C-alpha cells in the first residue's frame, strides 16, 4: 500500500528504499489515490531527519529520487516531495543532482504560499539543509516575477529579511528582487532591497544602480533618481560611506510612502 511505502521511507536510513523498482512503480500517477496529502497518517509526513547518515547517496539512489519527484508532483503530494528532498539534502548532494527545479516549478503554480513556505521552513529549521535555502529562494522568486506574481516575491523578501533567517542574503537574490520589483512597478520595494544591500555591505554594481535609476525616472522622481544615482556611484568609488546612502534611501522611501 501507499502507506506501507511511506513507512519504509521513514524507517530505512539514507533513503535505501529508493533502489527498489517495485517501490517506485507504486508511485505512478495512476496508482496514487486522488486525495490530498492529508490522507497520509500525520506520523509519516515528517521524516526522521536526525537519524539520516551524512554520507553520499549513490547514483542509483539519486536516479530513483529524481524519478519519484515528478510522479509525486503530478499527483499533488507536495508535502511528501518537500520531505523527500529535505531528507535527501541531509546527505549533502549537489543541488544539480536533485530534480529540485521540477518541484520549484510546481510550487510556483500554487495559488498561495502554503506549500512553498512549508518547504522553505523545512529547510530553514533543519540546520544541515540551510545551505540550500538561498539557491531555492532564487529559483522560486525568479519564477514568481516571470509569472507576474510580484506580490508573492514580496512575501519571500519579507521572509528572508527576518532576523531569524539563518543565511546572509547575497547579491544574487537581492539583484533578482530589485530587478523584479522595478519591472513590476514596485519601486519602493526595490529601494528597500537596495537598502538591505547597502546596510549589508553588498556590492550592488552598476546594473542594480541603473535598474533603480530608470525606475525612479519612470515615476517622474527625477531629483531622487539623480541624487541616489550619484550617491551610489560615490559608494562604488569609495568616496562616500554607506550611512549617507542609507539615510538618503530612508528619506526617499519615507517621502514616497507619505
Note the pLDDT tens digit of each residue in 23-55.
344 444 443 333 333 334 333 334 444 444 457
Domain boundaries, the chain: 1-131, 168-258
Section 225-230 average pLDDT: 96
pLDDT of residue 205: 84
DSSP state of 253: H
Within 10 Å of residue 243's Cβ, how many Cβ atoms?
A: 10
pLDDT at 198 over 50: yes
| DSSP, residue by residue, 156-201 | HHHHHTSTT-SS---HHHHHHHHHHHHHTT-HHHHHHHHHHHHHTT
Section 215-220 average pLDDT: 96
Section 149-167 average pLDDT: 97
pLDDT of residue 151: 97
pLDDT at 88 over 90: yes
pLDDT of residue 45: 39
pLDDT in tens, 184-193: 999 999 999 9
pLDDT at 9 over 70: no
pLDDT of residue 59: 92
Among the listed ranges 3-12, 48-57, 91-100, 208-217, which one has the minimum average pLDDT value?
A: 3-12
Section 217-231 average pLDDT: 96
- Asked whether the beta carbons of 57 and 64 are under 8 A apart, the reply is no
Among the listed ranges 66-70, 156-160, 232-236, which one has the minimum average pLDDT value?
A: 232-236
pLDDT in tens, 242-256: 899 999 999 999 999
pLDDT in tens, 103-157: 999 999 999 999 999 999 999 999 999 999 999 999 999 999 999 999 999 999 9
- Asked whether the beta carbons of 186 and 212 are under 8 A apart, the reply is no
User: Which has the closest alpha carbon to 211: 182, 248, 171?
Assistant: 182
H helices present in the chain, as ranges: 2-11, 21-25, 42-45, 59-74, 78-89, 100-108, 114-124, 133-146, 150-160, 171-183, 187-199, 205-218, 222-237, 242-257
For residues 10 and 41, the model is more confident at 10
pLDDT at 22 over 60: no
Amino acid at each position: 500500500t501507499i502507506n506501507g511505502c511511506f513507512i519504509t521511507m521513514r524507517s530505512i536510513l539514507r533513503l535505501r528504499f529508493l533502489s527498489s523498482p517495485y517501490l517506485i512503480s507504486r508511485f505512478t500517477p495512476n496508482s496514487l489515490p486522488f486525495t490530498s496529502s492529508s490522507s497520509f497518517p500525520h506520523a509519516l509526513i515528517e521524516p526522521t531527519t536526525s537519524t539520516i547518515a551524512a554520507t553520499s547517496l549513490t547514483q542509483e539512489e539519486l536516479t530513483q529520487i529524481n524519478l519519484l519527484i515528478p510522479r509525486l508532483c503530478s499527483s499533488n503530494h507536495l508535502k511528501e516531495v518537500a520531505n523527500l528532498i529535505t531528507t535527501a539534502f541531509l546527505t549533502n548532494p549537489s543541488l544539480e543532482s536533485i530534480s529540485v527545479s521540477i518541484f520549484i516549478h510546481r510550487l510556483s503554480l500554487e495559488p498561495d504560499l502554503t506549500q512553498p513556505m512549508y518547504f522553505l521552513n523545512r529547510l530553514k529549521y533543519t540546520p544541515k539543509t540551510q545551505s540550500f535555502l538561498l539557491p531555492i529562494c532564487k529559483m522560486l522568486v525568479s519564477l514568481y516575477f516571470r509569472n507576474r506574481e510580484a506580490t508573492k516575491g514580496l512575501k519571500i523578501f519579507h521572509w528572508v529579511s527576518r532576523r531569524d533567517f539563518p543565511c546572509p542574503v547575497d547579491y544574487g537574490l537581492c539583484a533578482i528582487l530589485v530587478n523584479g520589483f522595478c519591472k513590476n512597478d514596485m519601486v519602493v520595494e526595490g529601494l528597500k532591497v537596495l537598502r538591505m544591500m547597502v546596510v549589508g555591505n553588498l556590492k550592488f554594481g552598476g546594473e542594480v544602480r541603473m535598474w533603480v535609476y530608470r525606475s525612479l525616472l519612470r515615476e517622474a522622481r527625477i531629483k531622487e533618481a539623480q541624487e541616489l544615482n550619484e550617491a551610489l556611484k560615490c559608494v562604488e568609488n569609495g568616496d562616500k560611506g554607506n550611512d549617507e546612502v542609507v539615510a538618503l534611501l530612508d528619506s526617499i522611501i519615507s517621502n514616497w510612502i507619505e
